[in-house]
Chains A and B, each alone.
Chain A
Amino acid sequence: MSADVELDRVTVRFGQFTAVKEASLKIAGGEFFSFLGPSGCGKTTILRTVSGFLDPSEGAVRIAGKDMIGIGANKRPTALIFQNLALFPLMTVAENITYGLRVRGMNKADRRKRADELLHLIALPGQGDKLVSELSGGQKQRVAIARALAVEPQVLLLDEPLSALDLKLRQHMRNELRAIQQRVGITFIYITHDQGEALTMSDRIAVMNNGVIEQVGDGKAVYDEPRTSFVASFVGENNPFAGRVAKADRTGAVVETPFGLLRGRNPNGVKEGDKAILFVRPEALRVGEGPKDATVTSTVLNVAFEGNASHIFLKGADKKDITLTVGRLERVEIPEQGSTASVTYNPDLGLVLPEGKLARE
């Protein structure tokens, strides 16, 4: 059984410091929902509030429509997978997996049976008597998942569970997690600061910054239709061109950037004279001349070959490079390092957003 989770203007403060500000959203039952954001933005805080280790300073958490205030972590229909897994080192794999059932008073024979079922689910059959320390990183990962699933939670909470694994294993576990979620059909709330992880696995993503949820949407929406400068710069690579809006209407806007007037779509309805940023993705740029209000000319700083694609770095404003990605099979002439080159884009793929904080920098 899966349950929906609702955050209703949840605010969490630690003393004077506000870690989460008025977070409101509704996660449907059976959804794979991710929180994506840079380190320290309040992801873990939200998860701990849902699982019951923290009480919101204001607002409410509802699970399956029921207000969770005053219900302890051990009484909620959630199970949490910790960032460091927190398996019990003195128990065997099977004892770990069935600990929640033992607490609930299930007898030994039934526990043994359930452990076998779960070990099958995580593809570790017959390994129940091993000690946790005898497992590999990926196997520990799966034991942690089984331990959480054993108590049949309605909501599974995962706090960056893959961050400790190496790249190959991480990619493998992504598919595995997604497959497990589809098999058991319960709500997954997944935390990560890795946008690739969020985009590949999730039904929907909430992008967070500084304790604020900036945007909620599916991967495509968050990538193609970012609503704030932060989301545009955090999710995927993006080239920002900042300046004042010279001309704006419903369909588009022209921004006066250090590279001249440049055009893009105007989904947020910025007005003439506003400070704004035009975003163009590296894969939307191509080498060559185009319409004057969609062409940037600058010095080529560097060309990096990366197997399936090449990245061309042009000198940008404020010491920020402009990145352009060229696919391996695109037959274009790659400009020489140090030469001056023009790059252009389809104005429909440029996006003008109100000025705001950018990710990283």
Chain B
Amino acid sequence: MSRLFVYLIPVFVIAVFMVMAHFERRVAHDPTHRGFFDRNGTVLGIAFIALVAFWTLFLVVLPYLYMVQESFHPKLVAAERGGPKDILTLEQYRSFFIQPTDGEVNTTHLWAFFFSLAASAAVTVLNFAICYPLAYYMAQAGSVQKVRLLMLALIVPYWVNEILRAFSLRLLLASKGLINQVLMGLGLTDAPVDFLGNNVGLYVGLSYAYLLVMMFPLYNAVESLDKNQIEAARDLGAPWWRIHKDVVIPYAKPGIASGCTMVFMLSAGSLAAPQFLGGPKTLWFTSIVYDFFFQAFNWPRGAAYAFLLLAGCIALVMLMLRVFKVSLGETIR
């Protein structure tokens, strides 16, 4: 029974929106405005609404809603679903903090959670540090030809598929890999450096995987900045770092926020790169979720964990937007 009420939520939400729209029309009445059905005719109007509603409901809203309610149920075999044991429970969420088997604090999962968020934040910062100078150069400083070449050099590597990219990076960073051989050949180290075990591979791989995701919002934001603004600041005596601090970065802030948000969300939710490139002791949170779904067939717990990850990410992003005084609307401008 409790599973059914999920299907009522969309109806409820739509009703709320309709009431809101109704009130708004009353408050801001525009006599020249023609209603949706006036403009399109009744039949076409209904068809449009039905199509959009189908799209949002079945492809966007319902799958998530199904997962939400799944996460509030116990793990049951098919025969017991809908039976007396099928109750609403917070058990799955509690299991993230307290292990259900022995009642101990679930340090493994908690650690994986915080490590994933922290590492993703680090990847985001690293990515920003790499992309900002590049984006600035491409948008404001470089000559057309060089910029085109650079753009090509940035995009072409993405034709290579992710697995190949990850494993070639592994080869490069392995203890008998090229980089270690060069380092030892030059006599910089005696023993090979354990890049993979120290998660260097993970950071490099993740940064590289989402480089363009950071690059394009940054580039777009910086590109639309009037060159004269930069020169005006310079003319008024600003050294280069002040120009960036006072003029370029404030102007590009929405783009920066949008790039950082996306890179952070994508890295925190990525699955392949951490598995291929993480050190043997590294446990990425998405791997745990993956295992619950496909190894343990514990969908409720997997769903609960996935939503915890989502909530954690959103909370952190919101906090950061707050700290840097960017409104959410600006980031998707």
**Are chains A and B native binding partners rather than an unrelated pairing?**
yes
A230–chain B nearest beta-carbon distance, Å? 30
Q: How far does the alpha carbon of A87 sit from the alpha carbon of B232 in the complex, in Å?
A: 8
Q: Give per-residue flags for A68-82: 1 if the beta carbon is below 8 A from chain B beta carbons, else 0.
A: 000011110011101
A74 contacts B232, C-beta separation under 8 Å:
no
Q: Give per-residue flags for B5-37: 1 if the beta carbon is below 8 A from chain A beta carbons, else 0.
A: 000000000000000000000000000000000
Contact check: which of B226, B229, B242 meets A103 at CB < 8 Å?
B242
Within 58-116 of A, Cβ neighbours of B (below 8 Å) are at 72-75, 78-80, 82-84, 86-90, 99-100, 103-104
A151–chain B nearest beta-carbon distance, Å? 6
Say whether, besides A73-B231, A82-B231, A84-B228, A90 and B238 are in contact (CB < 8 Å).
no
B332–chain A nearest beta-carbon distance, Å? 19
Contact check: which of A74, A78, A84 meets B238 at CB < 8 Å?
A74
Q: Give per-residue flags for A23-60: 1 if the beta carbon is below 8 A from chain B beta carbons, else 0.
A: 00000000000000000000000000001110000000
- Which A residues lie within 8 Å of B226 (CB)? 84, 86
Q: B148-156, B243-251, B294-302, B311-319: which one contacts chain A?
A: B243-251
Total number of B residues with any Cβ neighbor in A under 8 Å: 17
B246 contacts A99, C-beta separation under 8 Å:
yes
Within 78-123 of B, Cβ neighbours of A (below 8 Å) are at none
- Which A residues lie within 8 Å of B250 (CB)? 90
A313–chain B nearest beta-carbon distance, Å? 42
Q: How far does the alpha carbon of A80 sit from the alpha carbon of B234 in the complex, in Å?
A: 10
Q: How far does the alpha carbon of A148 sit from the alpha carbon of B232 in the complex, in Å?
A: 9
Contact check: which of A79, A89, A90 meets B236 at CB < 8 Å?
A79
B contact patch SS: helix
Closest to A51 in B: B235
- Which A residues lie within 8 Å of B231 (CB)? 53, 73, 80, 82, 86
Query: Is A244 an interface residue, CB under 8 A from the partner?
Result: no
A80 contacts B237, C-beta separation under 8 Å:
no
Given contacts A74-B235, A87-B232, 19 further A-B contacts (CB under 8 A): A51-B235, A53-B235, A72-B234, A73-B231, A73-B235, A74-B238, A82-B231, A82-B232, A86-B228, A86-B231, A86-B232, A88-B246, A99-B233, A99-B238, A100-B236, A103-B233, A103-B236, A103-B238, A151-B237
Binding site for B on A (CB under 8 A): 51-53, 72-75, 78-80, 82-84, 86-90, 99-100, 103-104, 147-148, 151
Task: Name 24 interchain pairs, CB-CB below 8 A, sorted by A.
Answer: A51-B235, A53-B235, A73-B231, A74-B234, A74-B236, A79-B235, A80-B231, A80-B232, A82-B232, A84-B226, A86-B228, A86-B231, A88-B229, A88-B233, A99-B236, A99-B246, A100-B237, A103-B233, A103-B236, A103-B237, A103-B239, A104-B237, A147-B236, A148-B236
